[in-house]
Every structure is written in C-alpha cells, then in structure tokens.
Amino acid sequence: MIVATSFLLVLGPLSLTLALRIPPNPCPDVFSYNRVSFGKEVFGRVQIPYDGASKLNLHLNASFAGSFERPNNVQIKLTTPPNPATSGSTKKLLYNVYFPYQDVIPRITLIRYNGKVFCAGPQEPLVSGTAGVTNTWTSHQYFFFNDRGAAQNEAEPPIESEIDAANLDQDKLVPVGADSELDLKSNGKEGECGIASTAIVPLVLGGEELSDGVFPWLVAMFVVKGNGYEYKCTANLISDRHVVTAARCVQYYKVRIVKTEDILLVFGKADVGRWATNGAITREASDVRTHPEYDQGGAHGDVCVITLNNAVEFSRNIAPVCLWTGEETLDKVVGDDGSVAGWGVSSDAKRSVSPNANFVSVPIVATDQCLFSNLTYATITSDMTFCAGRRDGKGPCIGDSGAGFVLNRHGKFYLRGLASLTLSDEGGHCDLRNFAVFCDVARCKDWILSAMRKYS
C-alpha cells in the first residue's frame, strides 16, 4: 500500500481543533506531531539522516502526564526501509510513531539512532495534585543482508577479535569512588580488578556449584522479612563501596519496593545458607539508585547501583569485577562465552533458591537471531540489552536477577551484562529452551560511573 505524504499534516494550530494538549517538541528538526487529514488520530514522525548502515536501531523515550500501568505500547514503523540494491541513494529514514492513548499525547524526551542521540529533552513536569508522570521507552530494529550475505554496518571500523590489553584505560577498568583506591595486595595483584580463582569448575539452572573466592565479586542481596532476612537477588562488587544488581530487585515500574535500610549484602561466601554463622562479611546499604529509563516490562535499563554504608576490605574471597571497557557494539562479542553465577534455583521444579552459588557458561547471540526465535523478544529487548544462551535448559532462572554476565579477556573478567528476564513455559517455569535477556552494562556504563562518583 502506498501512502502519499501529502496526507500528513503537522500539528500546530490543528491541536486546538483536536481539543488535545500537544506537548512541547524538543527537536522539530527530527520529530513532529502529525495526523491524517480528516482523521483524529495523532501520531509522531521521526526523520533521521541515513548513515548507510544495514542494521538500523531507533530508540525513543517518551513521557506521559499521568499514571499508566503499561505505557510501553508505543509502536514504531519504518516507512522508508533502504533497498539493499539502492541503499546508497537513501538520504533520510522516516519512522511513524503510534501512541497507545489519544487522550494524552506523550512528550518526546530522547531519540537515539544507532547509538547517536539526535534529540533530548525534559520529561513532563510533575504537577502537584495530578496523577503524576509516567516515562516509557521503545525501540525499532531493522536490518537487511548485503551482497556478502550478512547484515553489516559499513560505517563501522573493522572489528578486532580481542581487546588490546596494552591499551586498556585503567581508570575505566577499575571504577572507584572519588576518594578511594582499589587495593588487592592480598591477591598479589595490586590495583587489579576481575581476578578470579583458577579453581573454576567447568560449568543458575543446570550449572555447577562454586567454592569461595572463585568469583570474588559475587554478592548475595538479602532484604528484611519479619524478624530476619530473606535472599532477594544476586549482585556484583564493582568497587570497595559499590555493588551493581538489577533494578527489578528493588523497584516495580516506578515504585520502590525495597527500602534502603532493609538491604543486607553478604560478601565472600559461595554458600549463604548459613551466612550469619560462617564468618561472612556483611554490609548495609546507604544509597540505592536505579537507571532512570528502567521499565518493568523489559530488560531496558534494568540496572541498580547500591552504595555500601562502609567500604569492604579486599581479600582472596572479596574483590571487584572490572566494568566493561572498549567497544559497546555487540558484533564484537557475539558468539563469545560468558559466565553467569548466582543463587537462583538449581532445579526449576523445586522453585526455591540454592544456598550455594552456581554458575554456567553461555554464549552471546546476535540480536536478529534472538528476535526471530520468539516474537516476545521484540517487546522485552532494546538497544540496551542482549540475549545469551544455548537453549539447552541451562541458564539464569528465578533468583538470578542481577547475576553478572562476565567475559574473560586476557585473564581478567569484565562485567558485560546483568541477568534480567527469561521466558516462561505454560507451567510458569523458566523456559531455557529459549534465550535469556541481559541488561547491557556496556550501554549503561556512563550512568553507572556517574552514580558511583556521586554517591561514594
């Protein structure tokens, strides 16, 4: 079906005839509010200069005035997909944006295409006495195959197979607070992060048990329940004052469900079944920050930085993992095996967390492979997530939220992702015949570092 662009009218004075409030537009050069002639439905249009890529990823944030439980039904449609044979002649990409409600038109707060921000603006203001503000996000992914049989971004430089250890930025590898320095003298590796024990068993659900110190950055997060504590999530030590876990461990949509003072973090022990009597190191939380773009309905922005009330002293069993450094693009790590460790269920039939941490090795898979494997992934993934797994029944499950996905680079482990979501079968069990979805730490690293510096 051919749609003539003359049928599209930019809203301005027309907004009065529609009796709708059209929010301020932060970037009229790339975005406009429109409606079909003689129609009532308002939609948005995005115009982005085409960069010649064969993988197109458009991400859009929006802010609604009011409280909505499920605002993430904003839909994006690419109306001018490039033709592989004539993509060089394409000058602009045109996207239509369809809103879930017509009585409340959202304000656009971010438009990002292939990692570049084209538009940014403030969210809807919070007005006293109103129902509040709801923020949401959505993304659209499109690719085509070139004459070499693969979808590639010709604008990107050649992909290197390994990170060059000689050129690693140590300030980025070892994230610390403004007034602290890492000290790993007891490990014999002063100033280093990501050093794991060599006694790693070759193999979370279907994994193998860990012993103390194998992954010394592993942290068990407990929360107050009654007169005691209950295991909640897996977390990861990234400095002597900070751990990182999944936002869903402390927040439901925009509502905080765990109080800062109710959090207890246990360090240095793979077996946390008797942490209170086995000499484990514990700390309370002094501050909790979740990513501003987090939405319960997907893995986008599913990251949380927790600041400890007191710094921990590093030892053989307690040491930080390195934050990811180098390129953010997934192309460079697709197919690489990463380790995921946590205290999630060891047998999904039992549906109870394991007292001993388990870990499993799973590969990162290409985004298009993940999306084509199950339609559900289109609603829970974004440009800030990745999929991983072998679809063999092994992987993160209930209780593994926040578990780190770490990649070994030249003998050091780097945190690339955080376990967020798995699909479920008809019985409500983890369906690891499908891929697991992780929040991509590489895409959130700037926010993580900012939170660490501000709340050290």
Q: Does the pLDDT at position 17 exceed 50?
A: no
**What local confidence, expressed as pLDDT, does residue 156 receive?**
32
Q: What distances in angstroms separate CA 367 from CA 25, 37, 370, 384, one per listed residue?
A: 31, 38, 5, 11
Span 390-404, average pLDDT: 81
Span 140-160, average pLDDT: 48
**What local confidence, expressed as pLDDT, does residue 199 receive?**
40
Those residues with Cβ within 8 angstroms of residue 148's Cβ, 6 or more apart along the chain or in another chain: none
| Cα(423)–Cα(430) distance, integer angstroms | 6
**What local confidence, expressed as pLDDT, does residue 308 receive?**
96
**What local confidence, expressed as pLDDT, does residue 41 receive?**
82
**What local confidence, expressed as pLDDT, does residue 161 receive?**
28
- Pull the structure tokens for residue 374: 């199950």
Residue matched to tokens 């979805």: 437
Those residues with Cβ within 8 angstroms of residue 268's Cβ, 6 or more apart along the chain or in another chain: 212, 213, 216, 280, 281, 315, 317, 318
Q: Is the dihedral of CA 22, 28, 33, 37 positive or negative?
A: positive
Q: Does the pLDDT at position 187 exceed 80?
A: no
| Cα(154)–Cα(145) distance, integer angstroms | 12
**What local confidence, expressed as pLDDT, does residue 430 receive?**
81
Classify each residue of 218-245 as buried b or exposed e, where b means 16 or more C-beta atoms within 10 Å of its C-beta.
bbbbbbeeeeebebbbbbbbbbbbbbbb
183 vs 312, residue with greater confidence: 312
pTM attached to this predicted model: 0.62
- Contact by Cβ (8 Å): 222, 263: yes
| Cα(209)–Cα(185) distance, integer angstroms | 27
Those residues with Cβ within 8 angstroms of residue 11's Cβ, 6 or more apart along the chain or in another chain: 18, 22, 32, 33, 34, 35, 42
Residue matched to tokens 């909790």: 288
Count of beta carbons in the 10 Å neighbourhood of residue 341: 27
108 vs 138, residue with greater confidence: 108
Q: Does the pLDDT at position 31 exceed 60?
A: yes
pLDDT digits (tens, 9 = 90+) for 193-214: 988 764 433 324 444 556 777 8
- pLDDT band per the 50, 70, 90 thresholds, residue 165: very low
Residue type, position 214, single letter: V
Max mean pLDDT range (157-161, 211-215, 233-237, 350-354): 233-237
- Contact by Cβ (8 Å): 387, 437: yes
Span 383-394, average pLDDT: 88
Q: Does the pLDDT at position 329 exceed 80?
A: yes
Q: Does the pLDDT at position 409 exceed 80?
A: yes
Largest CA distance in the chain: 74
| Cα(220)–Cα(264) distance, integer angstroms | 8
Q: Does the pLDDT at position 184 exceed 50?
A: no
Helix or strand run (H / E) with residue 394: none
pLDDT digits (tens, 9 = 90+) for 44-89: 999 999 988 877 888 888 888 877 665 556 788 888 787 665 556 7
Long-range Cβ pairs for the range 376-380 (8 Å, 24+): 376/423, 377/435, 377/437, 379/72, 379/297, 379/298, 380/297, 380/298, 380/299, 380/421, 380/437
In terms of Cα–Cα distance, which of 251, 252, 224, 220 is closest to 237?
220
Radius of gyration of the chain (CA): 23
What average pLDDT does the chain have? 76
- What's the full length of the chain, in residues? 456
| Cα(337)–Cα(339) distance, integer angstroms | 7
Q: Does the pLDDT at position 274 exceed 80?
A: no
**What local confidence, expressed as pLDDT, does residue 73 receive?**
67
In terms of Cα–Cα distance, which of 359, 73, 401, 61 is closest to 244?
401
167 vs 420, residue with greater confidence: 420
Question: What fold, for 165-454?
Answer: Thrombin, subunit H (2.40.10)
pLDDT digits (tens, 9 = 90+) for 430-453: 887 889 999 999 999 999 999 998
**What local confidence, expressed as pLDDT, does residue 284 receive?**
96
**What local confidence, expressed as pLDDT, does residue 155 receive?**
35
**Extents of the domains making up the chain:** 5-143, 165-454
User: CA 250: distance to chain centroid?
Assistant: 15
Span 34-41, average pLDDT: 70
- Contact by Cβ (8 Å): 66, 132: yes
Span 254-264, average pLDDT: 94
Q: Does the pLDDT at position 33 exceed 60?
A: yes
